[in-house]
Amino acid sequence: MRINITKQEEIVMDFSLLNNLVDPAILFFFFGLLAAGVKSNLEIPAPIAKFFSLYLLIAIGFKGGVALSASGFTSTALIGIGAALIMAVLVPAYSFMILRKRTNPYNAASIAATYGSISAVTFIAAQQFLTKNEVDFGGYMTVAMVLMESPAIIMAVLLATLVRKKQAQEEAALAGANPNMAAPAASGNQVSIKEVLHEAFTDGAHLLLIGSLVIGYITGDAGKDMMAPFTSEIFKGILAFFLLEMGLLVARQLRQTGELSKFLMGFALIMPMFNAGVAIFIAYLFGMSIGDTVLLAVLAASGSYIVVPAICRYAIPEAKPGVYFSMSLAFTFPFNIVIGIPLYYAVINMLWT
């Protein structure tokens, strides 16, 4: 009996986990893990690592802007951006509801913001994955990525504010019941939404991404041709260097996860798949393409380890940075890079065909 294999089924097979692992940039990530694991003194100097990060933000923002210039803000683009904004509100909301019963409420708010936001590097890896396998996606998904940062941060700050008010009311009630107890002092941790918004939108990484996207949109194909040697030809090499640095950083961060409970470690590995599942369901309802849905799932599944942790340190000082930073960087990031991206694609391709 002959078994007929369609072209789409061949593509699904090509999107195997092994296919993702043999990508040079991903292999450099594993090499970084190995080097740090054997306690090598290999390191990327901090200024150079910072440059790699800035370069990737410029390149991905610029290319997204160019693609958006070519396609315009069509109904398809607005659907993709709208789906991303829905996820940016949903993820921190239900994550907080789950986390507040198992950890400090301030930690819960910060973790919720971390997972409601995104990882630009994971998004870049997903784009490379799709490009390598000739799957189309819209440049407007870069706009979606940019817009997903702020709603999660605002949600987390609002949640933390509610927690502070509730605790102040409970302390006031206790003080009223016990006249000998001192009245609660005014909180020194009150943070205005205006300050948080300013911090979010003027953060260097976020601002550079927005600026690059706008410049790409304005210059279009002419700008693309002029910038091609910088944004395209050396992109893969810089990404490999950056993932080498990430491998070193992840391995070292894994040694410092003593503050994480088994529940939080499980959350960091299971929640990405759950968030991706919710994103896939929304994309299915909205009729999004396979490529756009993969990127939406990756955005929903990833967690921020740059912008949000920096802002949460200022906006929610009661939370422990070692908790939400370690969860995102040491567990969720490598899971998505190695397993998540091909897994999400396999599920999406099965549902769409």
Residue 341 neighbours by CB distance under 10 Å = 28
Nearest to 53 by CA among 309, 331, 239, 252: 239
Mean pLDDT of the chain: 82
Neighbours of 317 (CB within 10 A): 14
Q: Is this prediction's pTM over 0.75?
A: yes
For 208-244, the pLDDT digits (tens) are: 878 888 999 999 999 999 999 998 889 889 988 888 9
Tokens for 259? 């503050």
CB within 8 Å of 10: residues ≥ 6 apart: none
64-68, 89-93, 147-151, 171-175: lowest mean pLDDT where?
171-175
Q: Per-residue pLDDT for 18 more than 70?
A: no
Separation CA 109–CA 89 (nearest Å): 13
Q: Is 158 helix (H, G, I), strand (E, B) or coil?
A: helix
How far is residue 94's CA from residue 151's CA, in Å, rounded to a whole number?
14
User: Residue 63: what pLDDT?
Assistant: 87
Question: Contact, 91 vs 307, CB < 8 A?
Answer: no
111-144 confidence digits (pLDDT tens): 998 999 888 889 989 998 998 888 999 888 988 8
Q: How far is 81 from 18, CA to CA, in rounded Å?
A: 31
Helices of type H across the chain:
7-14, 17-21, 24-37, 46-71, 75-99, 105-116, 120-132, 140-177, 193-202, 204-228, 235-254, 262-286, 290-301, 307-315, 321-326, 333-335, 341-352
What pLDDT is attached to residue 278?
97
Q: Distance (Å, rounded) from C-alpha 267 to C-alpha 14? A: 30
Q: pLDDT tens digit string along 50-88?
A: 888 889 888 888 988 888 888 788 899 999 999 999 999
- Cβ burial of 72 (10 Å; 0-12, 13-18, 19+) is exposed
**By the 8 A CB rule, do 148 and 300 touch?**
no
In the prediction, which pLDDT does 2 show?
38
Count of all residues that appear for the chain in the document: 353
* Pick from 107, 138, 16, 47: nearest CA to 319: 107
Q: What angle do CA 7, 13, 19 make, to 5 degrees?
A: 130
* DSSP letter (8 states) at residue 117: S
C-alpha distances (whole Å) from 61 to each of 54, 171, 331 are 11, 48, 26
